Chain A
Amino acid sequence: MARSDSSRFGEFLRFELRSRLRQPTVWLFGLLFALMAFGATTTDAIRIGGGSGLTAINSPYVVTQMLGILSAIGVLIVTAFVATAVVRDYEMRTYSLFYTCPIRRGDLLFGRFFGSLAMAWVVFVITAFGLAIGTLMPWLDPARLVPHQPAAYLWTLVVLVFPNLFVMGAVFFGVATLTRRVMFAYVAVAAFFVVYIVSQNLISGIENDTIAALVDPFGMAAVSVDTRYWTLAERNHSIPSLGRLVLINRAVWIGVGIAALVLTYSRFRMSAPIEGSKSAVDDDEPAVRVDREPPRVHLRHGFRQSLAQWGHQVRVELSGVLRSTPFVVILLFAVLNVFGGIYGAMDDMFGTPVYPMSYLMVEIIEGTSGLFVLIVIVFYSGELAWKERKVGLHEVYDALPVASWVPLAAKYVALVGAVAVLLAASALTGMATQIVLGWPHIDLAVYVQGLFFHGLTRWALVIALAMAAQAVTNQKYVGFLVMVGYFVLGAVLPAIDLEHGLYRYASEPSATYSQMNGWGHFVRGLVWYRVYWAFAATLLLIASALLWPRGTDNRWKLRVRRARAALRGPVAAATVLAFLGFVGCGAFIYYNTNVLNRWVPSDEQERLQVLYEERYKQYEHLPQPRVTAADVEVDLYPAERRVDFRGRLELVNQTDAPIDRVHVTLEPELTTRALELPDATLEEHDEELGYRIFRLDPPLLAGATTTLAFDVGFAEPGFKERGSSTSVVENGSFMHSTGFVPRIGYDRSAELSDPNERRERGLPERVRMADLDDVDARRNTYISHEADWIRFAATVSTSKDQIALAPGYLEREWTEGDRRYFRYEMDAPILDFYAFLSARWDVAPDRWTGGDREVAIEVYHQPGHDMNVPRMIDAVKKSLDYFTVQFSPYQHRQVRIVEFPRYARFAQSFPNTIPYSEAIGFIADLRDPEDIDYVFYVTAHEVAHQWWAHQVIGADAQGSTVLSETLSQYSALMVMEKEYGRDQMRKFLEHELDRYLSGRGLERHKELPLMRVENQPYIHYNKGSLVMYALREYMGEERLNRVLSRYIADVGFQKPPYTTARELVDRIRAEIQPEYAYLVEDLFETITLYDNRTRSATITALPDGRWQVDLEVETRKLRADETGAEHEVPLADWIEVGAFVEREENGRTREVALHLEKQKFTEHEGRVSFVVDEKPTRAGIDPRVLLVDRDPEDNVRTVAEN
């Protein structure tokens, strides 16, 4: 017989391919991933990276993102294939047949590895097809597609997906093969994800992008860095290039993969596993002869005994899980993950952390532990269900006199116990972290409530499902698939508009914890949903017990027959009871969510918006009377979550003609007890949308006044499925006028704004905002179309133990019974924009004096949140110091900062009242002076709004938010700079630049120059900061502030026509130095960017001890259009150049400017020289990044000595 000595690599490879392709696993995974990719492309349901707004669905950017992210998830797939490639010979005990063949271990190892890896590659080729097919679907909006680029798929597969799978496959193949256990590979996968996520969090600062790019094994970060500031146009049409970072990343990680394979090869031996020997017991003991009678025992049966058996087995199963190596490893990594999660989440704003409050820890644990609990549940449900069968003990076990429900119930409780241990370990980690981070106030109640009452009970439901899946299907991997399906459904159902919790297993309404309001009213809904699903889980468990596989013949028919036979007596009663409980709870929940309250799913919400526009937009320009005064009575019942609003709005006909129709909008959720207008009859009442049309007979004459009296109530009985009001709560109510007070006329802001949604519903294109120069638009501010400045007074009542606040000065306070009353009046008109707050606050009072004015400062805060109050007060004082001198006098006699619960994260400026979220500022951890003090900054910004918005207010047109937000940013920057010094500003402005550039890529509509901004935060906040700071640096602070103070003097408190950004820009142009006049166009009227770079920076020592600095620089000026397409424009610009030195001050390193001067550049390249007194460390062009630059890193270089 002919033998060949050649390599068997080919045979192993071929066998692996053939063998695996015959099994359904490859095709199933391929189908699953292809469906995910298809779904992500064709619906908005599944989101995997993906195009937001204008980035095309099939753009190379999106393709790369999606396939890249899927390949990261694909780690599990590739592990599933490669982990068993060699190890299966041990688990199936075929190793002794293979290892005795004349084969080389390399052939076996690599043949099997590459065969299995090829399977993972096949899965992803199928996925790519799924993605591609998705983009060809006819129902996709053609406006969201670009010409197909197959090259993008190829690039992503070859550069990202295949190498990713190779690297991950090689590593986990090594783990499994060398440890000879598949489970360890999966544990290693979990560990890897933990390390990956933690490292991503650690490296999230801007400075470390390059390291982050190289350290990411999936290559996504490297591609991300390369395309970070890509505009829309580039994302849609350009394939990412093989940039330097990407190449190095791929080389490094492929090298890692090869190293893993080499290591595996070198340590792999084709020999019998040592497990036999470790536990081998010497059997050469002489047989002990015992002829005595065995001791007598009594056998007990019955329910009591079953219960005892169950208790005993719970202990056995639980200790089995807790002591198994995989669980211990998972526990360790879960703990590590909690650390990492906390570390990553603590960096709140501008890189400044918050205090590690207990409830924050709980939220982080809940967010990050999900993966690990899931792994434990899914794997151990299978392991526990098959434990006896795996070791071949099941026949013995099943013949014992143990009731069938006992093993199921024991395994179930044991798994719940294991999860409890995991959660307890996480809780301990959270507590330890709190102590380590210096905030040892541990709220044990919050941990227990959050993780156990809330978390563990929910996991118990999921475990019931997992055990039922195992018991009913009686196939370990089908059971896993069921759980996977459950999770996928959990994401998909809401996306296809099936959002109600009643039909989503283990669902619950959302709940947020606040230290002001505790768990609040959310608890009720949570509890009922939990009980509801607990009944369902009970039914599942009963079914599992009845269908529990027992013995050797477990065909479906037989099990059903056994189940039917067992369904009698107490079991049947329990089933019926559970079913009744389920239905009963369901009915009660439905009553609460759909009958007592309105159930508004998201598509319904949109439908109502469309309806509003369709029906009433025709009245948009109908002349309506304007509100000139509001006197409101608010009765708040916090404990009952109920509020009554009564009041009178004074309406004046400020047009030239009589008005015979008044349109009034009131939120449909409100109960309207009275809505009275003299001489008016209700002509139309749209109950669904809350729109009323009154006919006035006789009509309201020009210049005449009338009064609208209203009496409305709001209450939220029972509980809601979603959208539970956070305005009216037990402690910390915060009610905006717009939600409760009747509004006059058509409200444009209620329209559907997203252009894609509008197109889908056939609505015409919507102008986001009126043009800058639109004359009509200047008749209204952007705050309100129904009023200019109004007189305001309010009487607010609340429960006796709370304080109620409204804009205005407290005229009178009194108690009546168990109610407390406050009367507030404003002595000057305010914008038609006010709010009411009520809570049990502590009040920190202070006062500011400036010139002859005295202003009362009060901070209303939650008891215990006083850490940053002094800083807030200080910020208020310093802001008043600066603004009253530089701009204009402060128009009120008080400044009140008021804390509200963390259901929303913002601060807002009402006349002399500044509500400030619990989540920002109050819990900021500012103990490290290196961190940016955003409390100071936000406070200064909000105080600045008292000038920029409450004195100067823009028309309802483009650019008006410049007048409020951008100028407030500038004001806050100035106060900050005075406080913290110029050098600190650089760090802050870097963040602003990064946000602006990133924001450009996420634009859904079109970018606009600053002057024409349409309420786009990344422009009016972030770009605004940069522009104003640069303007200050060029114009000089005195000159710029002079423009602003004159501006306020001219337009403050004006009546229509209201000012616009153009007026401000014209004023700046009039005052700016002639050589910088071009700046106005660059900064305000166009989207201008620079590409500045220092090619080299050399220093030479001069004989007199000073240093000469020589720079070779490049500069380029670009203008961009709305979609980001750029073209170069000629230069004639003054750009700053300078040199810096690093100094140690008070134990901190600071970079101090040695020399800064502006030079004029007209050419792309230039040479600059200047002399400094000290040896500098870095130098460059536009070193302080005053100008918007796509890559600010290359502006400055470390100097090289000549």
Chain B
Amino acid sequence: MPGEGHTTMGDRLEIRGLTKTYGNGVRALQGVDLDIPAGMFGLLGPNGAGKSTLMRTIATLQEPDGGTIRLGALDVLRDKDGVRRILGYLPQDFGVYPHLDAVTLLDHFATLKGIADRGERRAVVDALLQRVNLWNHRKKRLGGYSGGMRQRFGIAQALLGAPRLIIVDEPTAGLDPEERTRFLNLLAEIGEQVVVVLSTHIVDDVADLCANMAIIAGGRVLQKGEPRAAIDTLRGKTWRKVIDKGELEDHRERHMVISTRLVAGRTVIHVFDDGAPGQGFGAVEPDLEDVYFTALRRAA
């Protein structure tokens, strides 16, 4: 019920036992437990891992089959209206009304978010449009925006009303390097008292930005914690070798290959091994990607 639960700055998002099975039998979430404190939290996982399902559930767009989500005293699943008052959501895939201009639509959302005073609203809308660098295009039809511009608009509406829970779902896919950098900087500015959940399959986004992370695949949380700590656990267990294409099958059978890459035309593999895997392998400093691939391989 509105007003029953409330959040205070610095509350953490507690997800317990969240399950969701779709009508056709796909088990998108199979008992997800997460503790997400204030600050940047990265949710890493391949496509189909259940990330979007989880994001939409937190954003009140979907009902889970079981489990709870709490933000401080706020019961996220029951008190949807309470969540929406403090929520900023940037969906993975969204559209706009093509015949309207950015100011009009953003103003509309601002009203819907609850900013009743016209002066305040105008100030907020103007500020956000400048912040996402759409000020020069603010009067143009949204239908004419490029993909990157539309994404920036999405960010602007997500930041309306100083939300305390921000969900961003695959935000940098489709952005060029410059736009990506700008976006990540923007997120970083948001503030430490806000819970920001960044769901992505791009490892670098998490590595660059997030103090906390979880790896999710097949509806399950494979690993959680701080990225630094995760990398530390892998130190001394990651190995590198350059091989021919034809040898790949062979290596796969004999080792736990966690990643294959082409570097200047040669195949480079990373392998996980508690001890030295053998000749041709060299120890390599692990990074978050190794952590990610190792977790996935282990779960498969």
Contacts and interface: CB of A to CB of B under 8 A. Distances in A.
Given A8-B112, A92-B95, A100 B89 contact: yes
A277 interface: yes
Interface string B89-112: 101011111111000000011011
B141 to A, nearest CB: 11
Most buried by B among A8, A101, A271, A283: A101
A483 B87 CA distance: 47
Contacts of A271: 61-63
Contacts of B109: 97, 101
A102 B116 CA distance: 13
Interface in A279-312: 279-284, 286, 289, 291
B249 A96 contact: no
Given A278-B24, A280-B24, A19 B97 contact: yes
Nearest to A2: B117
Contacts of A1: 115, 120, 124, 161-162
A291 B25 CA distance: 32
Contacts of B130: none
Nearest to B61: A272
Interface in B57-100: 59-63, 81, 84-85, 87, 89, 91, 93-100
A274 B28 CA distance: 13
B190 to A, nearest CB: 16
B120 A2 contact: yes
A660 to B, nearest CB: 83
A1013 to B, nearest CB: 64
B60 A3 contact: no
A2 B108 contact: no
A100 B91 CA distance: 10
Contacts of B116: 2-4, 6
B187 to A, nearest CB: 18
B47 A3 contact: no
B26 interface: yes
A104 B124 CA distance: 23
A291 B260 CA distance: 15
A274 B26 CA distance: 13
Contacts of A97: 89, 91, 94, 109, 154, 157
A857 B97 CA distance: 80
A284 B48 contact: yes
B60 A11 contact: no
A1143 B207 CA distance: 95
A98 interface: yes
Nearest to B48: A283
B61 A100 contact: yes
Contacts of A270: 61
Consensus secondary structure, chain B interface = loop
A92 B61 contact: no
Interface residues of B, number: 50
Interface residues of A, number: 40
Contacts of A23: 99
A286 B108 contact: no
A3 B85 contact: yes
Contacts of A8: 111-112
A35 interface: no
A980 interface: no
Contacts of B115: 1-3
Contact of B81 (A19, A92, A93, A102): A102
A289 to B, nearest CB: 7
Nearest to B161: A1
A272 B58 CA distance: 12
Given A19-B100, A101-B109, A271-B63, A5 B2 contact: yes
A99 interface: yes
B26 A282 contact: yes
B56 interface: yes
Interface string B212-231: 00000110000000000000
Contacts of B108: 11, 15
A244 interface: no
B111 to A, nearest CB: 5
Nearest to B117: A2
Contact of A11 (B25, B59, B111): B111
Given A99-B61, A271-B61, A277-B23, A94 B48 contact: no
Given A1-B162, A96-B61, A281-B26, A101 B112 contact: yes
Nearest to A107: B112
B17 interface: no
A553 to B, nearest CB: 15
B114 interface: yes
B93 to A, nearest CB: 6
B77 to A, nearest CB: 12
Contacts of A812: none
B113 interface: yes
Contact of A96 (B46, B91, B111, B113): B91
Nearest to A99: B61
B262 interface: no
B233 to A, nearest CB: 25
Interface of A: 1-6, 8, 11, 15, 19, 22-23, 88, 92-94, 96-104, 270-272, 274, 277-284, 286, 289, 291
5 contacts: A1-B162, A3-B114, A3-B116, A102-B84, A278-B23
Sorted nearest first, the 4 A-B pairs with minimum C-beta distance are A283-B48, A93-B95, A277-B22, A102-B84
Interface of B: 2, 22-28, 46-48, 56, 59-63, 81, 84-85, 87, 89, 91, 93-100, 108-109, 111-117, 120, 124, 154, 157, 161-162, 217-218, 249, 300
